């Protein structure tokens, strides 16, 4: 597979996963708690018709999009089997509050000082709307509203508005949106034309990651070397098990 361009299923990938945010930008984050599994699944069904796909890069909504994210607790509440949940990265399953020490969130930044309900198991779904200005942002929210309205088993528990400062810096004083990587197979240009594209699996599940590609290259080198060496015993570890 090396040297062959990966073809991403852009219609099945959310725009916000691969596209850079507009500059300047306005955003709204809506956090939901699922109290009823059937209503939670209905929310997902409706949201699938609202979110902007990565294939929608040249339409008028190209820089205005809605995306949906789920926490590990959210997937569990929706009924995803534990055998499937266990295939996700342990960092995702553990959650940011549990990883606070590893992330350096201590002292005044420790989870007990976070704004409720952030960092709790109550956070199940996050709906994000992003646009170049407040007017188009409000239009995006209006488009998304039917996805969660009148679902009594889904409750909005937190909302955050975000806007780029006139200085184009974020609130800690750092320049926001300095660079954007190239993702292999996305067709979306990055900020550095000389940059080697990153493996799609670093951003999208089911595609090859950089580490997987490295393991494959190492395995091929091991196979080539082993083929030229005499076998010293019949119980030598196989190339596949050595690579993993």
Average pLDDT, integer, range 115-125: 96
What string of H, E and C letters represents the secondary structure of 66-108? EEEEECHHHHHHCCCCHHHHCCCCHHHHHCCCCCHHHHCCCHH
State the pLDDT at residue 68. 96
Which range (14-18, 62-66, 105-109, 221-225) has the least confidence?
A: 221-225
3-state secondary structure of 5: coil
172: confidence class by pLDDT, cuts 50, 70, 90: confident
Q: Which of 35-44, 58-67, 194-203 has the highest mean pLDDT?
A: 35-44
Q: Calculate the alpha carbon distances from 24 to 10, 96, 130 in Å.
A: 25, 28, 10
Dihedral pair phi/psi, residue 3, rounded to 5°: 85, -10
Q: Report residue 180's pLDDT band, with 50, 70 and 90 as the boundaries.
A: confident
Please tell me whether the overall predicted TM-score, pTM, comes out greater than 0.85 for this model. Answer: no
Higher pLDDT, 62 or 143: 143
pLDDT of residue 40: 98
Beta bridge partners of 27: 130, 162
More confident: 24 or 1:
24
**Listed range (81-95, 147-161, 212-226) with the worst mean pLDDT:** 212-226
Strands across the sheet containing 65-70: 65-70, 125-131, 26-34, 154-163
Cβ(128)–Cβ(66) under 8 Å?
yes
Contacts of 221 (CB under 8 A, 6+ apart): none
pLDDT at 57: 63
80-96 in b/e form (b: 16+ CB < 10 A) is: eeeeeeeeeeeeebebb
Rounded to whole angstroms, the Cα distance separating 213 from 243 reads: 12
DSSP helix/strand/coil, 163: strand
The chain-wide mean pLDDT, for the chain, equals: 82
Domain boundaries in the chain?
Answer: 10-177
- What pLDDT score was predicted for residue 226? 36
Closest CA to 65 of 182, 208, 188: 188
Q: Pseudo-torsion of CA 53, 58, 62, 67, nearest 10°?
A: 10
120 neighbors 97 (Cβ within 8 angstroms): yes
């Amino acid at each position: 597979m090396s040297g062959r361009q990966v073809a991403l299923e852009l219609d099945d990938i959310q725009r916000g996963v691969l596209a850079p945010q507009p500059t300047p930008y306005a955003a709204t984050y809506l956090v939901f708690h699922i109290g009823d599994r059937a209503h939670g699944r209905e929310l997902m069904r409706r949201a699938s018709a609202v979110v902007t796909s990565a294939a929608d890069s040249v339409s008028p909504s190209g820089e205005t999009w809605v995306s949906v994210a789920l926490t590990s607790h959210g997937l569990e509440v929706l009924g995803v089997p534990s055998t499937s949940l266990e295939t996700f990265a342990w960092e995702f399953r553990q959650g940011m509050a549990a990883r606070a020490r590893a992330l350096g969130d201590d002292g005044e930044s420790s989870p007990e000082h976070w704004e409720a309900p952030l960092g709790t198991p109550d956070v199940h779904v996050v709906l994000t709307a992003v646009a170049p200005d407040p007017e188009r942002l409000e239009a995006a929210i209006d488009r998304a509203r039917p996805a969660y309205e009148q679902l009594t088993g889904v409750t909005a528990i937190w909302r955050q508005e975000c806007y780029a400062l006139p200085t184009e810096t974020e609130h800690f004083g750092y320049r926001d949106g300095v660079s954007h990587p190239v993702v292999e197979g996305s067709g979306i240009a990055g900020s550095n034309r000389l940059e080697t594209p990153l493996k799609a699996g670093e951003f999208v599940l089911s595609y090859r990651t950089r580490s997987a590609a490295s393991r494959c290259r190492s395995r091929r080198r091991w196979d080539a070397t082993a083929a030229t060496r005499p076998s010293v015993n019949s119980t030598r570890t196989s190339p596949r098990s050595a690579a993993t």
